[in-house]
Structure formats: structure tokens, C-alpha cells
């Protein structure tokens, strides 16, 4: 039996009336950082600039100047101006609101373009260029958002998706995809060609992205103005992008008179050849070990570019004496790794531990209570594998606690064959390369801050970003060798620990 349960594990036990407040990780540390935690980080007041109305054109050729409203004709016409805002938190003082570069627009409406993109999309791993890093202004307790946005922009398949949208999807006048639109526009403010003497661009306020979350019930929990959990924001952000894609796909087919709930894709790598028909609509019969039939069920995953980049699948097998095994295929995004056990010293250790059988005593069955077992395997891996090191857990005596022990990881990761379902071992790519690390700072669950290390698109170097503070680092500053953890010689700060690891499949 486990002594501790993670906050994620306990979330479903919350009062149903409070579920909107505890929608993912109910007891994670959503807090503001105490001043004593970071004496060098001076508090400041900042007033975000009012959003510009860029849909107004001024006619100066006549005596009486009139404002003539006009609709933008493309992504490049949405936002074109830069403004200056007060800024004293280090780095350049010129802050840009998102502007866009000229991009070709195909002669089709947004619904049709999104539908075609979903039908034909394949993740693109090839870096088109390097991008100039820019710091993000922290207007107060939004470092968790800043770190996630930076990690995603330096993720090549995700960045290439934004460029593809900018190129092939017309601007959506119906405003039905606010987060896709704002994120795509924001990505255009990162230069792909610049003076090499200018290592970083002006710091920017990602207001165009953050404002698109306001008024969205999915993001209600983020509107308190307090520090939130970076992993929770990542899930909310990717899920909303996913839903916007699917909504456009459904609207397109509804306009065409097609009956569709979206293109549903069941990822069942390696097991489709052994499926047999079953009258039970909730599952199917699968031929398992020693040709023993098992009941298999799958949570469906609707196809979108987001699920194709970040979505993987787990295979959970429940074995109850005198009953057929029950198999459930469960989607994941990201992959949750428990690190609480003392013998978990590295990411690989955590992956191995994930597949160990879990004993379930007093399991109800037709023969009375029995001892059942549950075992988890990886059924499919996504192109971009995000590993969530579960730092926060709930202790009945002490409440929410943080485990800040070092966990080893390297820039290159080989997924052990033992963690895959037996039927697919040796058939799936297992080599991944690290491209971003999101860190949590703070020695306890009562205060904290988030920073991020990112790798340039072409792999030419690493960059450390703390809101507006940016400097180059070496890969050795990012990696934590297992030998250093085993010998206790790891020289990192105890209060700064890796929280989210972004790995991209090697092409």
C-alpha cells in the first residue's frame, strides 16, 4: 500500500460542487511566492496596455478626418503596430504587441481550411530556421504561463504547425478559434532572421494569447491572479487548442450536410490483428496471453494536430482470478511519472516503476473478495513526449508536500523496451531528444516560481529563460547524470527541480 497519494490521484474525490475549482490537480500549490523566497525579484506594478483596435483605417487625404472601419483580409493584416510600455525588469525596454509577417492565403474559408489541415496533417520535425529568443514580461504571477509558452514555441513540430496555419488557413472572422488565432499571431513576433550581434529580441507581453483565455470557462481557475500550476495550464492550453480544431472540423461537415462527430481514431498499435468481434458495445474480445480471451475497451481519441503531436496511449490490464482479463486503452498527455519511491533516481527508473504490477487486495468478484492485479504498459508514444515528474503529493498528516529530490535525465532518452506492451516491443521508435525543461523553484508547496531551459530549433545551443532574463547555457547545465544523483554529488540548487521534460522523437 502507498503511504502517499499524488494530488492528481486525489482530485476525483473532491466535492462535486467544487469540481469547477479543482478541475485537474485539486491540491497543487496555487500560490504567490513569498518575498523571502526570492529577495532579488523586486515587486513592481504594471498596467497592461489597452488592446489596439487595428481594424480602423484613418483617411488623411480629406479635411475632415474620418475613421473607416474595415475587416482584415489576412493574418498579416490583423496586427501591425508596436507600442511602448513602462518596463523596468531588466533587458530591453521596448515591448512589442504581436505583429505578423505577410503569408499567402488560400482561396477557401477557415472551416474548409481547418478540415483539410486535420485530414492531411502529419507532424513536421524539420526545423525551418532558428528563432530569436524573446523574454516574456511577468505582469504578476504568470511565470507558469510564460514558461509553458516558451517551451511550446521552441518545440519544432508545434512551431511548424503554427507556421502551417499561418500559411494555409485564412483569418477566422467568426472568432470561433480564439486560442489558435492568438497563438498563431503571437508566433509571428519571433524573428527567423536577425542581426547575429543581437542575441535576443525585445521583451514582449503575450497579452494576445492570455486575453484569449479570458471569458473561457475552461480557464476560469486561472483568473484569480494567483500563481497556478504549470502542468495544469499546459493541459488546459493543449486541450483547448484540440477542441477548437475539432469544433471547426465539425462545423465544416455540418455545413456540407455530413453527419460526423469528428474523425475518431482508436490507436491500437500492435493488437488489431488479434481482435475478435464481441456483442458488448462497450468493448471487444482480444486474444491475449496463451490465446486466452480478454475484454478490451478503449477511450476514443478524436484526431487533431494537437493529439497527433502530443497524444500517446497507455494499456491497462486488470487481472481478477476466475475472470477474463480486462484491458483498457487510455490516452495520455503528458505522461505522469510517480517519483516518490526511494529507488527512483532517474526518468528511466520512473518508467520502469510505472509498469510494475499493482496489487489490489479485497477486489469484489462473483467468488467473493479476491486479490487482483493491475499492470500498465505504454501502447503508443507521441512525436513529442512530455514527462510530468509528479513533485507534489498529499500527506494526510502534513497536507500538500513537495518532493524536491533530484531526478536524473539526459539530453538523449531511450525508452526501455520493457515498458511497452509485449505485442509491440521492437516495433516502435524509442529514441528521443530533449528540447525543453520547465523548472519549479521553491523548497516547499507554500511558495514557488517557474523558469525554463529551451533548445534552439536547429539544436545549435541551449537558452535559459526566467521571464525577461535570457542567457545562453551548455547542455551540461541542463542534464543531470544518474551517477551524480547516486553519489550525492549533484551540485544543483535543492529548491530548483525539473518539473516537465519535453522530448521530441528523433527523426
Kindly tell me the burial class for residue 42, based on how many C-beta atoms sit within 10 Å of its own C-beta (0-12, 13-18, 19 or more): exposed
Please state, in angstroms and rounded to a whole number, the distance separating the CA atoms of residues 258 and 250: 9
Q: Above 70 in pLDDT, residue 255?
A: yes
Domain that holds residue 141: 73-255
* Number of domains the chain is built from: 1
Q: Is residue 417 part of a domain?
A: no
Q: Is residue 134 part of a domain?
A: yes
Supply the residues annotated as catalytic.
143, 449
Summarised one tens digit per residue, pLDDT across range 266-290 is: 333 333 333 333 334 445 445 454 4
CB count in 10 Å sphere of residue 96 = 18
Summarised one tens digit per residue, pLDDT across range 463-475 is: 999 999 999 999 9
Q: Is residue 182 part of a domain?
A: yes
Cell of 485: 544523483
Average pLDDT estimate for 118-134? 92
Compute the C-alpha angle 188/462/103, nearest 5°.
15
* Highest mean predicted confidence (pLDDT) among 94-108, 202-216, 338-352: 338-352
CB count in 10 Å sphere of residue 382 = 24
Q: Is residue 379 part of a domain?
A: no
CB count in 10 Å sphere of residue 252 = 20
Q: What percent of the chain stands above pLDDT 70?
A: 67
- Whether residue 467 contacts residue 478, with contact meaning beta carbons closer than 8 Å, is answered with no
pLDDT score of 60: 37
pLDDT score of 424: 92
Q: Is residue 492 part of a domain?
A: no
pLDDT score of 258: 66
| Segment among 85-89, 423-427, 501-505 with least mean pLDDT | 85-89
Q: How confident is the model at residue 20 (pLDDT cuts 50, 70, 90)?
A: very low
Q: Is residue 207 part of a domain?
A: yes
Kindly tell me the burial class for residue 439, based on how many C-beta atoms sit within 10 Å of its own C-beta (0-12, 13-18, 19 or more): buried
Q: Above 90 in pLDDT, residue 378?
A: yes
pLDDT score of 481: 96
296: Cβ–Cβ under 8 A, 6 or more apart, which residues?
271, 275, 283, 284, 285, 286, 326, 327, 328, 329
Q: Is residue 315 part of a domain?
A: no
Q: Above 50 in pLDDT, residue 226?
A: yes
pLDDT score of 260: 52
* Highest mean predicted confidence (pLDDT) among 186-190, 247-251, 439-443, 477-481: 477-481
Average pLDDT estimate for 70-94? 40
Radius of gyration of the CA atoms of the chain, in A: 24
Q: Is residue 220 part of a domain?
A: yes
Using omega within 30 degrees of 0 as the cis cutoff, is the peptide bond preceding 334 cis?
yes
Amino acid at each position: 500500500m502507498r503511504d502517499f497519494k499524488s494530488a492528481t490521484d486525489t482530485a476525483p474525490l473532491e466535492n462535486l460542487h467544487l469540481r469547477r475549482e479543482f478541475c485537474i490537480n485539486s491540491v497543487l500549490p496555487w500560490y504567490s511566492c513569498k518575498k523571502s523566497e526570492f529577495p532579488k525579484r523586486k515587486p513592481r506594478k504594471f498596467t497592461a496596455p489597452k488592446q489596439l483596435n487595428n481594424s480602423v483605417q484613418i483617411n488623411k487625404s480629406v479635411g475632415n478626418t474620418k475613421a473607416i472601419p474595415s475587416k482584415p483580409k489576412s493574418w498579416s493584416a490583423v496586427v501591425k503596430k508596436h507600442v511602448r510600455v513602462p518596463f523596468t525588469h531588466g533587458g530591453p525596454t521596448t515591448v512589442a504587441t504581436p505583429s505578423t509577417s505577410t503569408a499567402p492565403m488560400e482561396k477557401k474559408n477557415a472551416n474548409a481550411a481547418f478540415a483539410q489541415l486535420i485530414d492531411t496533417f502529419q507532424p513536421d520535425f524539420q526545423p525551418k530556421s532558428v528563432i530569436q529568443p524573446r523574454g516574456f514580461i511577468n505582469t504578476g504571477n504568470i511565470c507558469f504561463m510564460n514558461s509553458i509558452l516558451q517551451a511550446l514555441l521552441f518545440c519544432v513540430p508545434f512551431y511548424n504547425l503554427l507556421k502551417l496555419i499561418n500559411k494555409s488557413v485564412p483569418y477566422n472572422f467568426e472568432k470561433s478559434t480564439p486560442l489558435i488565432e492568438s497563438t498563431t499571431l503571437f508566433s509571428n513576433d519571433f524573428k527567423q532572421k536577425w542581426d547575429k550581434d543581437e542575441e535576443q529580441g525585445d521583451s514582449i507581453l503575450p497579452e494576445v494569447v492570455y486575453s484569449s483565455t479570458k471569458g473561457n470557462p475552461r480557464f476560469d481557475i486561472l483568473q484569480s491572479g494567483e500563481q497556478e500550476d504549470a502542468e495544469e495550464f499546459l493541459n488546459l492550453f493543449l486541450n483547448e487548442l484540440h477542441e477548437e480544431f475539432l469544433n471547426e472540423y465539425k462545423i465544416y461537415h455540418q455545413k456540407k450536410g455530413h453527419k460526423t462527430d469528428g474523425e475518431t481514431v482508436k490507436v491500437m498499435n500492435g493488437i488489431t490483428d488479434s481482435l475478435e468481434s464481441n456483442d458488448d458495445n462497450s468493448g471487444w474480445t482480444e486474444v491475449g496471453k496463451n490465446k486466452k480471451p480478454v475484454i478490451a475497451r478503449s477511450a476514443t481519441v478524436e484526431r487533431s494536430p494537437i493529439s497527433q503531436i502530443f497524444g500517446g496511449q497507455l494499456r491497462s490490464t486488470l487481472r481478477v482470478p476466475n475472470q477474463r482479463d480486462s484491458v483498457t486503452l487510455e490516452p495520455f498527455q503528458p505522461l505522469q511519472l510517480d517519483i516518490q519511491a526511494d529507488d527512483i533516481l532517474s526518468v528511466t527508473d520512473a518508467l520502469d516503476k510505472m509498469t510494475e504490477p499493482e496489487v489490489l487486495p479485497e477486489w469484489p468478484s462473483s467468488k467473493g473478495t479476491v486479490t487482483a492485479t493491475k499492470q500498465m504498459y505504454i501502447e503508443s508514444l507521441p512525436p513529442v513526449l512530455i514527462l510530468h515528474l509528479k513533485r507534489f503529493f498529499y500527506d494526510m498528516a502534513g497536507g500538500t508536500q513537495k518532493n524536491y529530490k533530484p531526478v536524473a535525465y539526459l539530453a538523449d532518452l531511450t525508452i526501455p523496451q520493457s515498458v511497452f506492451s509485449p505485442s509491440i516491443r521492437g516495433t516502435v521508435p524509442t529514441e528521443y531528444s530533449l528540447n525543453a525543461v520547465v523548472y519549479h523553484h521553491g523548497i516547499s508547496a507554500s511558495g514557488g516560481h517557474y523558469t525554463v531551459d529551451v533548445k534552439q530549433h536547429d539544436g545549435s545551443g541551449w537558452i535559459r529563460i526566467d521571464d525577461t532574463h535570457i542567457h545562453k547555457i551548455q547542455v551540461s547545465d541542463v542534464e543531470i547524470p544518474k551517477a551524480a544523483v547516486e553519489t550525492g554529488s549533484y551540485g544543483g540548487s535543492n529548491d530548483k527541480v525539473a518539473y516537465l521534460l519535453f522530448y521530441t522523437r528523433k527523426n
